[in-house]
């Protein structure tokens, strides 16, 4: 929409002329305060503040001018103007992922709202709390075909946990409370509130105020349920623990480690659960979810019991670890998993993951239940692969070298890396050593491209002073490159490492696996460094293998601004990895 067009149909309220004796420097502001009537938009903002909203990401439009004015009047919410609604949604989703509280994004009606659908769907798929707010045209024209009108309730309903439109001023406190409550319930996800322009401008009922927030609840399983779990575990010979992102969401990392150590059994994580158990722990196996039979899969081949903690089937297809549906599964999460032919559960424990694991560990101690299941060969193979090209000087750089240099350059174990979708995700997920949850963040539910650049902006704002690394392919980089301007403008501190191969590398890889050839996946890039610099970022081009580590280390420690590093990558290693995995023999 043309910016000038946003104003052409808006009728400004009439303001009476000031008294001639009044001071011209102060009277207009005082007059505005005296004449302003508290509107539904004002009430809406009061409710957002009551929910703890401090930051909102989005792009204004004509139909949400009343809400924008209310945000400005209130003054307690920081509005971050983005360059695309998709960027706003990814920022809100990343904030929600890192904080556990709903991130909030805003768009106008029609095309603006439709641009939010991808990040909203991503948040919902990955159990990330998010509240999307969309404007809508006047209620009086929603029944017919009209300029920019789309049935947004029907659009967002299948992408969210709950979507509704405000039709009655008095409903705002309940609707806002419901949107935030559902976004954070047992299965977190996205919700969407739609606010028509004419409703936003209506006077708010005098007695309408934000609702009090409920006390947080923690629900533990019954003793009988825990005893049933202990009985199943005692009957196993080769148990294994599978940990998903619910462990981080429930702050249950220490309990997970206690369970693993009590049973003395290995723990594998999903891509999204990466870091919920430190890779320094001997019982940590690494991640499952790679598109072929990876090292960790051999441990599942041997297992007869899978204790799935915080796992959901959207994180990866359980067929990869239970192809014959012959393994016993204990499912521990805040919600019951959906039906899947390869995820038949013997016991579902729905409740607080932390409280459940605490009770389970105590019961296992009382019954003296422990095993001795270990897979040292898996550790050996992963370590060898990680170190295989750590000193390799070939150029373009091999993926293993980039991963190793990236880990070395990160200053502390708690620095945050956001990993985009593409061939690089496979390498980073499998090989990047991770020691704390939410320090290597990967979307493997909807597997969205281009979320990490805007996501890094939100991560930086949530962690001021700490560098945030966005790891992207060149295909992803170009999809949301405009948000570099947002990052510069808001003073974010991020480093963007672009793996350059001038192709959609993951699709090329899968095509090569399919029939040995690929087509329609190659493209040409602009000058990535010059492009970044044109936005006000610092640009760096890697021209030899020994340049990446010092460049990345310096950028991460520079203390300010945006750094973009373009690093050519040699993806011929992709097919070599497939061949290598096909030759692994664990029976030897």
Instruction: Look up residue 391 and give its two tokens.
Output: 């000193």
The residues pairing with 163 across neighbouring beta strands, listed in sequence order, are: 192
Task: Please indicate, yes or no, whether residues 184 and 64 belong to a single structural domain of this protein.
Answer: yes
* pLDDT one-digit tens code per residue, 213-271: 998 877 889 999 999 999 999 999 999 999 999 999 999 999 999 999 999 999 999 99
* pLDDT one-digit tens code per residue, 323-344: 999 999 999 999 998 889 999 9
CB of 566 closer than 8 Å to CB of 277: no
Task: Please indicate, yes or no, whether residues 309 and 351 belong to a single structural domain of this protein.
Answer: yes
Distances (CA, A) of 76 to 34, 52, 53: 21, 10, 9
pLDDT at 7: 34
- What's the number of domains the chain is made of? 3
Task: Please indicate, yes or no, whether residues 343 and 462 belong to a single structural domain of this protein.
Answer: no
* pLDDT one-digit tens code per residue, 285-304: 999 999 889 999 999 999 99
Cis peptide before 403 (omega within 30 of 0): no
pLDDT > 70: what percent of the chain? 94
* pLDDT one-digit tens code per residue, 404-449: 999 999 989 999 999 999 999 999 999 999 999 999 999 999 999 9
Token look-up 């990343």 returns 94
d(C-alpha 281, C-alpha 545), whole Å: 31
d(C-alpha 204, C-alpha 222), whole Å: 46
d(C-alpha 451, C-alpha 472), whole Å: 9
Distances (CA, A) of 183 to 127, 178, 296, 555: 9, 8, 33, 36
Cα–Cα nearest to 346, from 358, 355, 337: 337
pLDDT at 559: 81
Task: Please indicate, yes or no, whether residues 397 and 534 belong to a single structural domain of this protein.
Answer: yes
Q: Is residue 537 part of a domain?
A: yes
Range of the domain at 493: 388-580
Mean pLDDT for 548-574 is 95
Task: Please indicate, yes or no, whether residues 250 and 142 belong to a single structural domain of this protein.
Answer: no
Least confident of 13-27, 431-445, 455-469: 13-27
Task: Please indicate, yes or no, whether residues 123 and 58 belong to a single structural domain of this protein.
Answer: yes
Task: Please indicate, yes or no, whether residues 119 and 248 belong to a single structural domain of this protein.
Answer: no
Task: Please indicate, yes or no, whether residues 184 and 266 belong to a single structural domain of this protein.
Answer: no
Q: Is residue 283 part of a domain?
A: yes
Task: Please indicate, yes or no, whether residues 368 and 398 belong to a single structural domain of this protein.
Answer: no
Mean pLDDT for 77-84 is 98
Task: Please indicate, yes or no, whether residues 355 and 435 belong to a single structural domain of this protein.
Answer: no
Coil, strand or helix at 76: coil
- The yes-or-no verdict on residue 141 having pLDDT over 90 is no
Answer with the one of 308, 341, 375 that is the final residue of a domain: 375
Rounded to two decimals, the pTM is: 0.92
* pLDDT one-digit tens code per residue, 186-222: 999 999 999 999 999 999 999 999 999 998 877 889 9
What CATH number does the domain containing 114 carry? 3.40.50.970
CB atoms within 10 A of CB 285: 28
Task: Please indicate, yes or no, whether residues 405 and 447 belong to a single structural domain of this protein.
Answer: yes
Order of strands across the sheet with 305-309?
284-288, 267-270, 239-243, 305-309, 328-333, 347-350
Q: Is residue 18 part of a domain?
A: no
DSSP secondary structure letter of residue 336: P
3-state helix, strand, coil in the chain (%, to 5): 40, 15, 40
SS3 per-residue string spanning 112-136: HHHCCHHHHHHHHHCCCCEEEEEEE
* pLDDT one-digit tens code per residue, 380-400: 899 999 998 999 999 999 999
Coil, strand or helix at 86: helix
pLDDT at 170: 97
Answer with the one of 169, 200, 231 that is the final residue of a domain: 200
Phi, psi of 45 (to 5 degrees): -65, -40
Task: Please indicate, yes or no, whether residues 350 and 413 belong to a single structural domain of this protein.
Answer: no
């Amino acid at each position: 929409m043309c910016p000038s067009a946003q104003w052409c149909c808006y009728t400004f309220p009439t303001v009476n002329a000031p008294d001639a004796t009044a001071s011209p420097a102060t009277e207009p502001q005082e007059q505005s305060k005296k004449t302003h009537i508290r509107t539904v938009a004002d009430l809406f903002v009061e409710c957002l503040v009551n929910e703890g909203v401090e930051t909102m990401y989005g792009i204004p439009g004509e139909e949400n001018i009343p809400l924008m004015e209310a945000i400005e009047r209130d003054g307690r919410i920081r509005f971050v103007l983005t360059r695309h609604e998709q960027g706003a949604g990814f920022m809100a989703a990343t904030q929600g992922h890192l904080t556990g509280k709903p991130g909030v994004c805003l768009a106008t009606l029609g095309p603006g709202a439709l641009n939010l659908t991808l990040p909203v769907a991503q948040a919902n798929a990955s159990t990330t709390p998010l509240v999307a707010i969309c404007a809508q045209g006047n209620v009086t024209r929603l029944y017919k075909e009209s300029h920019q009108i789309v049935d947004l309730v029907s659009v967002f309903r299948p992408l969210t946990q709950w979507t509704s439109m405000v039709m009655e001023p008095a409903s705002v406190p309940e609707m806002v409370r419901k949107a935030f409550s559902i976004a954070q319930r047992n299965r977190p996800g996205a919700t969407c509130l739609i606010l028509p322009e004419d409703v936003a401008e209506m006077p708010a009922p005098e007695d309408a105020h934000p609702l009090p927030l409920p006390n947080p609840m923690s629900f533990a399983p019954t003793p009988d349920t825990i005893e049933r779990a202990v009985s199943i575990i005692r009957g196993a010979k080769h148990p294994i623990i599978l940990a998903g992102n619910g462990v981080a969401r429930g702050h249950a990392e220490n309990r997970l480690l206690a369970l693993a150590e009590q049973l003395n059994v290995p723990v594998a994580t999903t891509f999204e659960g990466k870091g919920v158990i430190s890779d320094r722990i001997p019982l940590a196996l690494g991640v499952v979810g790679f598109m072929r039979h990876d090292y960790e899969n051999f441990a599942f081949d041997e297992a007869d019991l899978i204790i799935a903690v915080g796992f959901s089937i959207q994180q990866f297809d359980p067929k990869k670890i239970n192809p014959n549906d012959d393994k016993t599964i204990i499912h521990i999460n805040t919600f019951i998993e959906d039906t899947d032919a390869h995820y038949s559960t013997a016991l579902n424990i729905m409740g607080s993951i932390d409280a459940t694991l605490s009770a389970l560990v105590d019961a296992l101690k009382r019954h003296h239940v422990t095993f001795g299941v270990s897979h040292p060969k898996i550790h050996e193979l992963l370590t060898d692969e990680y170190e295989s090209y750590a000193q390799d000087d070939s150029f373009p750089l091999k993926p293993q070298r980039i991963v190793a240099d990236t880990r070395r350059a990160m200053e502390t174990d708690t620095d945050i890396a956001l990993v985009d979708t593409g061939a690089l995700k496979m390498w980073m997920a499998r090989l990047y050593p991770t020691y704390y949850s939410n320090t290597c963040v990967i979307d493997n539910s909807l597997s969205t491209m281009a979320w990490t650049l805007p996501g890094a902006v939100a991560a930086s704002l949530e962690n001021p002073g700490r560098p945030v690394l966005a790891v992207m392919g060149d295909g992803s980089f170009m999809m949301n490159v405009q948000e570099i301007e947002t990052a510069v403008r808001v003073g974010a501190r991020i480093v963007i490492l672009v793996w350059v191969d001038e192709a959609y590398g993951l699709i090329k890889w899968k095509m090569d696996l399919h029939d040995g050839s690929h087509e329609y996946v190659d493209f040409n890039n602009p000058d990535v460094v010059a492009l970044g610099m044109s936005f006000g970022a610092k640009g760096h081009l890697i021209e030899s293998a020994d340049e990446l580590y010092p460049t990345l280390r310096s950028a991460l420690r520079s203390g300010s601004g945006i750094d973009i590093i373009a690093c050519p990558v040699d993806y011929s290693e992709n097919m070599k990895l497939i061949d290598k995995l096909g030759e692994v023999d664990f029976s030897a």
